[in-house]
A and B are shown apart, each in its own frame.
Chain A
Amino acid sequence: MISIRNLHKKFGDLEVLKGIDVDVQKGQAIVVIGPSGSGKTTFLRCLNILEVPTAGSVTIDDQTADFSKPFSKRQITAFRKQSAMVFQHYNLFPHMTALENVMEGPIIVQKKDKAAARKKAEAILTKVGLSDKMDYYPFQLSGGQQQRVGIARALALEPKVMLFDEPTSALDPELVGEVLQVMKDLASEGMTMVVVTHEMRFAKGVADEVLFMDGGKIVERGKPEDIFNNPKEERTQQFLNLIEKTDVI
């Protein structure tokens, strides 16, 4: 479903991604872990082309974006349609209700029929457990509810791939579970997902593969039980010790 080849990204002289190769099969959930600043966010953003990679290629389904060649804005927009992003800080549209947030993409971008889009948006919001909050503005919702709207907004686009950038790290601990539950449900329905998260339980329970990133490279990859129980690389061990001790995101 996704195949990433030799992905590079530089900000000026700073090389943030130093050649990433990843394959994700349809229906798989991949979890990416790694220390702060290792390039996880940049990696995800490159898949959605919110950042334009400096070299390499990304194939999603049958479309390939080859970043060694020039390409137009239109090509970016077309490629972007295949994936949808869930942000760490939700980035909901504050001037729209939950329902309007979810309907916005289908109606404005995909030009879907309003009534049908509304029905679908209502169904998605119900699915993420917000049937009673549809007409609330984001500021009236808790962090966990806002993030579920964020997920619903992404789902409404019917993407082939969902990208999650630390979706629970801005949440109070008691609200993390409700968001992870929604993500678990998605995974079990066969959604292809790339998730940056340090939620071990989620990784262990849901991930088909865990990637450990450090310094812009994938240092180690494997089944969650292998990575978490017997990491081979020293850097992975150090990192896992650190997050187990401090339980930080």
Chain B
Amino acid sequence: MYLNNIFSDPVRLERLSDISQSAWLPLLEGLVQYTIPLTLIAFVLGLILAVLTALARISTVKILQWIARVYVSIIRGTPLLVQLFILFYGLPTIGVVIDPFPAAILGFSLNVGAYASEVIRASILSIPKGQWEAADTIGMTYVQSLRRVILPQAARVSIPPLSNTFISLVKDTSLASLILVTEMFRIAQQIAATNYEFLLLYGQAALIYWVVCFLLSIGQGRLEHRFDRYVSR
């Protein structure tokens, strides 16, 4: 019935087309202004946090291991949306007020940090012990061994799972709409609220997410290829 209506009603079709066309620009603005920066900043900060957490987990210092475990356990054991709500709506009740965008950065960074730390830990542990020893025997310090020998090899192993984390993050940033960050999905919601064309606007947003993720998966392939230059295939 409804479908019939759309395609037999030229006025409605025209209206949909107009709404759709005028929505692209604001949606892309939301993408460029918030979705992409949020993704990139949170991913970079998250990765730094993840490496530190992974190193703490594999260190021999009990207290560091323990802190890392608790952190990862809390983040993995609670919903991302709940974490964001605690940061943005919860903390102000004890006097800690954070703006939407920094709150989102904080939430997503903590999240990436915990998940990626498990990936990085596993990758570091997958590097044969002989590599540490070879680094030792040429006189490298712990930090030199990590930077020059272990992490570059661990990076290769980590690329596929970290790419998944990255692509998930792009989509998860839509949750930031619920703490008032005017990223792409919030813009879609705002436009739809004025004209009630929910399917159209959410569909447009979905299409943009999909294109971005598709491009990223191409980038992932290229990156993997570059890192594979030193392994036989």
Which residues does A use to contact B, with CB under 8 Å? 48, 50, 77, 80-81, 84-85, 87, 89, 91-96, 104-105, 108-110, 137-140, 153-154, 157
Contacts and interface: CB of A to CB of B under 8 A. Distances in A.
B140 interface: yes
A105 B152 CA distance: 16
27 contacts: A48-B136, A50-B133, A50-B137, A80-B137, A81-B139, A85-B133, A91-B130, A91-B133, A91-B134, A93-B149, A94-B153, A94-B230, A95-B152, A95-B153, A95-B156, A104-B148, A105-B138, A105-B139, A108-B140, A109-B144, A110-B139, A137-B229, A137-B230, A138-B230, A140-B232, A154-B137, A157-B139
Interface string B217-233: 00000000000011110
B131 to A, nearest CB: 6
Given A77-B141, A95-B156, A137-B230, A50 B136 contact: yes
A210 B11 CA distance: 99
Interface string B135-162: 0111111001000110011001000000
B134 A92 contact: yes
A84 B139 CA distance: 9
B130 A87 contact: yes
A63 B129 CA distance: 28
B79 to A, nearest CB: 38
Interface residues of B, number: 21
Contacts of A85: 133, 137
Nearest to B232: A139
Contact of A109 (B128, B140, B231, B232): B140
A73 to B, nearest CB: 8
A154 B133 CA distance: 13
Nearest to B137: A85
Contact of A95 (B133, B139, B230): B230
A148 B148 CA distance: 22
Given A77-B141, A84-B137, A91-B133, 17 more contacts: A48-B137, A50-B137, A85-B137, A87-B133, A91-B128, A93-B134, A93-B149, A94-B153, A94-B230, A94-B231, A104-B148, A105-B140, A109-B144, A110-B139, A140-B232, A153-B138, A157-B139
A155 B134 CA distance: 13
A48 B137 CA distance: 7
Q: What 5 A-B pairs have minimum CB-CB distances, sorted nearest first? A: A105-B138, A91-B130, A91-B134, A109-B139, A85-B137
Interface centre among B136, B153, B232 (most CB of A within 10 A): B136
SS class, residues of chain B in contact with chain A: helix
A139 B137 contact: no
Interface string B73-112: 0000000000000000000000000000000000000000
Nearest to B153: A95
A209 to B, nearest CB: 24
Interface string B190-233: 00000000000000000000000000000000000000011110
B109 to A, nearest CB: 28
Contacts of B136: 48, 50, 80
A51 B131 CA distance: 15
Contact of B144 (A84, A91, A108, A154): A108
A92 B128 CA distance: 11
A77 B139 contact: yes
Contact of A93 (B131, B156, B231): B131
Contacts of B128: 91
A156 to B, nearest CB: 8
B58 to A, nearest CB: 17
A110 B144 CA distance: 12
A185 to B, nearest CB: 22
A174 B137 CA distance: 28
B38 to A, nearest CB: 32
B126 to A, nearest CB: 13
Contacts of A157: 138-139
Interface centre among B131, B134, B156, B232 (most CB of A within 10 A): B134
